[in-house]
Amino acid sequence: MSATAASLDRLSATLLAHMSGVTAESLEENALEQARSLDKFLSGVEKRAFQIARIAVRDTDDALDIVQDAMLQLARRYGQRPSEEWKPLFYRILQNRIRDCQRRRMVKNRIFAWLPGMRKADEVDETDFIESVRDERQGPTDKAMTGEAMRLLESALRELPARQLEAFMLRNMEGLDVAETAHAMGCTEGSVKTHYSRAVHTLRDRLTDAWGELS
């Protein structure tokens, strides 16, 4: 074998070793980086996501299940996507799970409605959430006022139609822009604007006076 052939063999062997080495290291580092990014993203949204689910389904345990399911689905299906895409995807999954939960509850209610003594599925064991809110920085009066304001807000939110509630929570609480909200809700940007605008008007009508008395 000539000198050129021997050099080519050495080059092939080096290439093989180099490709295997680089792939192992880069893949491992990439997987760790994705895991760290996901942890950071989820820790940033989990509490608000829980609040969105809890207000929509009116049950703490169901809301926790919904958030957990949304987190797992995001990791499984979209974990390899760039982290910038996670937010609208996560909220889309969350909204779908909320709707699934509401549908299941509706079916249960229809089935058990005629049975005497059966507890309706929507008569939920909701922890008095406002009472569980703790803020050591606030004095007792401030805390009571915040609690009462939040109780009124939640009550008004629960009177909203489902789509208006979705739009309001995603736009107002989570701070998604119109395009992200449209993606999360699976509708057009125009619909988002309409739902959000109507929700704001309804809430303002119901809360301005009540909140005014608190302050």
The least distance separating another protein from the CB of residue 116, rounded to whole angstroms, comes to 34
CA distance 106 to 36: 39
Interaction between residue 6 and another protein (CB under 8 A): no
Q: Residue count at the site for another protein (CB under 8 A)? A: 64
Asked whether 157 and 165 are in contact (CB, 8 A), the reply is yes
145 binds another protein (CB under 8 A): no
3-class state of residue 114 by DSSP: coil
Cβ atoms 120, 112 nearer than 8 A? yes
Retrieve residue 161's tokens. 């139609």
Q: Which CA distances in Å does 94 have to 4, 15, 50, 52, 183? A: 62, 46, 9, 9, 12
**101-130: which residues touch another protein (CB under 8 A)?**
127, 129-130
- In the set 74, 94, 165, 185, which binds another protein (CB under 8 A)? 74
Interface residue with another protein among 3, 43, 82, 114 (CB under 8 A) is 43
* Euclidean distance between CA atoms 10 and 112, whole angstroms: 76
User: Which positions touch another protein (CB under 8 A)?
Assistant: 4-5, 8-9, 11-13, 15-16, 19-20, 23-24, 27-28, 30-32, 34-35, 38-39, 42-43, 46-48, 50-51, 60, 64, 67-68, 71-72, 74-76, 79-80, 127, 129-130, 132-135, 146, 149-150, 153, 169, 172-173, 175, 193, 196-197, 200, 203-204, 207-208, 211
